[in-house]
Amino acid sequence: MDLYHQDHFHDECGVFGVYNHPEAANLVYLGLYALQHRGQESAGIISVDERLFLATRGPGLVADVFRRNELDGLKGKQAIGHVRYSTSGGSNNARNRQPLMVDTAHGGMAMAHNGNLVNAVEMRRTLERRGSIFQSTMDTEVIVHLTALSRRKSFVERLVDALSQVEGSYALLAMNEQCIIAARDPYGIRPLVLGRIGENSYVVSSETCALNLIEAEFIRDVEPGEVILIGPQGVESFFPFPRRKRCLCIFEYIYFARPDSNIDGVNVYATRKRIGMRLAQEHPVLEADLVIPVPDSGVPAALGFAHASGIPFELGIIRNHYVGRTFIEPQQSIRHFGVKIKLNPNPDIIQGKHVVLVDDSIVRGTTSRKIVKMVRAAGAKSVHLRISSPPTTHPCYYGIDTPTQSELLASSHSVEEMRTYVTADSLAFLSLEGMYAAVNGHGLGYCDACFSGRYPVPFPHHEENAQLTLLQENQEFER
């Protein structure tokens, strides 16, 4: 499975910042390239040149938003950037592009945010009642307002003041004309890492893969609840919030993060492979001829499954990487090419074979059903679907764009009912225990709410929340 599938979780955002480098914006641009898998809907970079904030934000991929002209305009030695998928804020709405840039009593400020606040609507209502106006529907604007309203003296104190008032997930970069602040919520739900490039230039990134690209040195993960101030006086660390149980989103390992990243010290590719091995042990398929991944995200788990089971691994489904945002279906067609345009089974490999198909998750089930049927149509004698995560029974409120609970196939169907629906010969999911065994070598905590319904951050009236949000989804059309 992969990012383009509409029947899937969507990762929401990636952030990247560079402090004290003569080509700050260009490095942020490269960093966003490496984080592109975290959001393909819009991209933006804001730099500071003396006291002047300079911004370019636009729809589409990093490669489309920025040309030489745009980057040349983003002067200055510090810059932050953002790639986004929707989440809060309507999809592809010109109002909702990050980073945000505002003027305040203390000068300019820019902010880029990956995550979701559970009390965003409440805070927004409170702020509106005291007279604040909102120009986007992004949670981030709440944090910006609270920061501007704070009476504290320094920028970092004001930001901490603001963050003390919100609940939810955030991996956040804030910038004024002198410094960049990185903050990770007390639960550590979203990843964030610190790096260095050259002697005195610092980098903050959602994932380590972006550090690798620009050949920055990895220093360490930003800790849950940590606020890091990077400024003229160097790097300072604060832990201003009450300590919480660490709850890193476990789905980062299963699907979101890029395989060559390490999150909190654990390599994603290696974890996915261990998951596949565990899956093979928990739910073996006897007499299968091939293990075939649903590319690209299913590949490492399938490799692990093949390794543990001894069943040969084959790239029996080819993914077409030239697919654009939209493609045009024949109008009189009764078939839909939606999945086939991206995923093409290789009949020569599949024909007459008993196939183990490895994918990372089942959301609505419609895509899985299409893929199973496609593999069978390519000649498979049997299709055994193995999912490298537990059944997804609950929606995410911490920044992942999931369907509502009722749309999640696993929320209302037994595994056997799901098997029937996706038309597989057998279907099995990794157990929660198996997942933890594969992921967790060192006793850390994770958020597994989408599998367990145990939400670590309490949230008030979340259904009304969604309701309220929708009611004010004012939109700006693209030009």
The most distant pair of C-alpha atoms in the chain lies apart, rounded to whole Å, by 72
Query: Which range, of 27-35, 180-188, 389-397, 449-457, touches a second copy by CB under 8 A?
Result: 27-35
Say whether residue 58 binds a second copy (CB under 8 A): yes
Interacting residue with a second copy among 270, 415, 432, 444 (CB under 8 A): 270
Our CB check for a second copy shows the closer of 64 and 463 to be: 64
Closest separation in Å from C-beta 328 to a second copy: 5
β-strands 248-249, 446-447 pairing: parallel
Q: For residue 318, give the H/E element and its range.
A: strand 317-319
When the beta carbons of 151 and 243 are compared against a second copy, the nearer one is 151
- Residue 135 interacts with a second copy (CB under 8 A): yes or no: yes
Query: Quick check: 191 and 185 in contact, CB under 8 A?
Result: no
What's the closest the beta carbon of residue 443 comes to a second copy, in angstroms? 20
The window from 186-194, 239-247, 319-327, 361-369 that contacts a second copy (CB under 8 A) reads: 319-327
For residue 249, indicate whether it is catalytic. no
| Phi, psi dihedrals of residue 442, rounded to the nearest 5° | -135, 40
28 binds a second copy (CB under 8 A): no
How many whole angstroms separate alpha carbon 88 and alpha carbon 97? 11
Contacting residue, 260, 282, 401, 407, with a second copy by CB under 8 A:
260
Please pick, from the candidates 232, 286, 310, 322, the single residue that binds a second copy as defined by CB under 8 A. Answer: 322
Listed residue (192, 138, 193, 191) closest to 166, CA to CA:
138
Report which residue type is found at 245.
K
Interface of this chain with a second copy, residues 277 to 296, rule: CB under 8 A: 296
Choosing from 13, 179, 249, 450, which is the catalytic residue? 13
Question: Which residue, chain included where needed, has tokens 């057998």?
Answer: 426
The one-letter amino acid at 59: P
> Can you tell me which of 6, 107, 164, 281 binds a second copy, judged by CB under 8 A?
107
Strand-strand pairing, 266-267 and 262-263: antiparallel
Residue 125 within binding range of a second copy, rule CB under 8 A: yes
Q: Which is nearer to a second copy, 213 or 437 (CB)?
A: 213
The window from 133-141, 163-171, 245-253, 424-432 that contacts a second copy (CB under 8 A) reads: 133-141
Residue 361 binds to a second copy (criterion: CB under 8 A)? no
Per CB under 8 A, does 33 bind a second copy? yes
- Burial, 14: exposed, middle or buried (Cβ in 10 Å; 0-12, 13-18, 19+)? buried
> Is position 336 an interface residue for a second copy (rule: CB under 8 A)?
no
Task: Give yes or no for residue 236 binding a second copy (CB under 8 A).
Answer: no
Residue 124 CA to residue 132 CA, distance in Å, equals 8
Q: Choose which of 15, 27, 179, 294 interacts with a second copy (CB under 8 A).
A: 27
Q: Considering CB under 8 A, how many residues would be counted as binding a second copy?
A: 115
Instruction: Give the pair of three-digit tokens for residue 247.
Output: 């709850």
Binding range to a second copy, per CB under 8 A, among 54-62, 163-171, 187-195, 237-245: 54-62
Residue found under tokens 């901490």: 160
Eight-class DSSP state of 110: E
Q: Which of 153, 234, 331, 352 binds a second copy (CB under 8 A)?
A: 331
Among 5, 8, 10, 37, binds a second copy (CB under 8 A): 37
CB of 55 to a second copy, least distance (A): 4
- Minimum Å distance from CB 418 to a second copy? 26
- Which 296-315 residues touch a second copy, going by CB under 8 A? 296, 299-300, 303, 307, 312-315
- Phi first, then psi, for residue 96 (nearest 5°) are -105, 40
Buried b (16+ CB within 10 A) or exposed e, 390-428: bbbbbbbbbbbbbbeeeebbbbebeeeebbebbebbbbb
DSSP three-state, residue 477:
coil
Q: Which is nearer to a second copy, 314 or 448 (CB)?
A: 314
Residues 99, 17 contacting (CB under 8 angstroms): no
**How many angstroms separate the CA atoms of 161 and 183, rounded?**
12
416 part of the interface to a second copy, by CB under 8 A: no
Contact segment (CB under 8 A) with a second copy among 130-138, 164-172, 279-287, 446-454 equals: 130-138
Residues from 140 through 179 that contact a second copy (CB under 8 A): 144-145, 148-150
Q: Is 443 a residue that touches a second copy (CB under 8 A)?
A: no
- Dihedral sign from CA coordinates of 203, 81, 458, 162: positive
Can you spell out the DSSP letters for 229-256?
EEETTEEEEE--SPP----EETHIIIII
Burial of 218 (0-12, 13-18, 19+ CB in 10 A): middle
What CA–CA distance (Å, rounded) separates 370 from 349? 19
Does position 19 interact with a second copy (CB under 8 A)? The reply is no
Write the interaction track for a second copy spanning residues 367-396; mark x where CB under 8 A is met and - where it is not.
------------------------------
Rule CB under 8 A: say whether 253 interacts with a second copy: no
Catalytic residues: 13
